Chain A
Amino acid sequence: EVKLVESGGGLVQPGRSLKLSCAASGFSFNDYWMGWVRQAPGKGLEWIGEINQDSSTINYTPSLKDKFTISRDNAQNTLYLQMSKLGSEDTAIYYCARADWYFDFWGPGTMVTVSS
């Protein structure tokens, strides 16, 4: 069974950094692109970015390219999202998802709240 579980969310002060993790199981992690999507409270889905199998290609939505960094550890079957200079606009549920030409499996999400 494919399983994705995000962790690392919580309350963080404006201007600080936070690193999210996504633990994958039930499939061959190093065979797939992986991605991050976020959803602000009461809003729609926003694609953050994706990373390919060997981390040689990483794409971001332009507005987040200088703040967020996606990485992965294939030995640990884990995807990461490093977020810096956080502001209130980054308050959202953050989902990781397995990527093919679509997102076919999603984690339950982890909530990040940016507030003083």
Chain B
Amino acid sequence: DIVMTQGALPNPVPSGESASITCQSSKSLLYSDGKTYLNWYLQRPGQSPQLLIYWMSTRASGVSDRFSGSGSGTDFTLKISRVEAEDVGVYYCQQFLEFPFTFGSGTKLEIK
């Protein structure tokens, strides 16, 4: 199985500052079609997860442009610009390259 490893945040993050969440995969997620099969989700407290970013850097419909995804084949970053109270929750990366489609353990964002 592909192992997804997420980094922690230096919480709490001051409101209006930027936050970067890292994720590393045990195998390259770059496929021969040129796409990188890495997704990011946000799970707000008490809610279901919601898709933020797919194919490493494509924002899902309706997602604020304060969220951006970048990376290489195995190292990825989700950047949140100008963090707001509504960004609080747990962020998960997930690989969609090979079954089983494993998730990272999650990174909690708190805001000051």
Contacts and interface: CB of A to CB of B under 8 A. Distances in A.
Contacts, number: 59
B13 interface: no
Chain A, interface SS category = strand
Nearest to A61: B100
Interface residues of B, number: 25
B50 A45 contact: no
7 contacts: A47-B94, A62-B100, A101-B37, A102-B51, A102-B54, A103-B49, A103-B94
Interface of B: 1, 35, 37, 39, 41, 43, 48-51, 54-55, 60, 90, 92, 94, 96, 99-106
Interface of A: 35, 37, 44-47, 49-50, 59-62, 95, 101-104, 106-109
A47 B60 contact: no
A101 B39 CA distance: 9
Nearest to A104: B51
Contacts of B106: 44-45
A101 B37 CA distance: 8
Contact of A45 (B1, B37, B49): B49
Contact of B48 (A49, A102, A107): A107
A47 B102 contact: yes
A101 to B, nearest CB: 5
A98 to B, nearest CB: 10
A95 B47 CA distance: 11
Contacts of B104: 44
A108 B1 contact: no
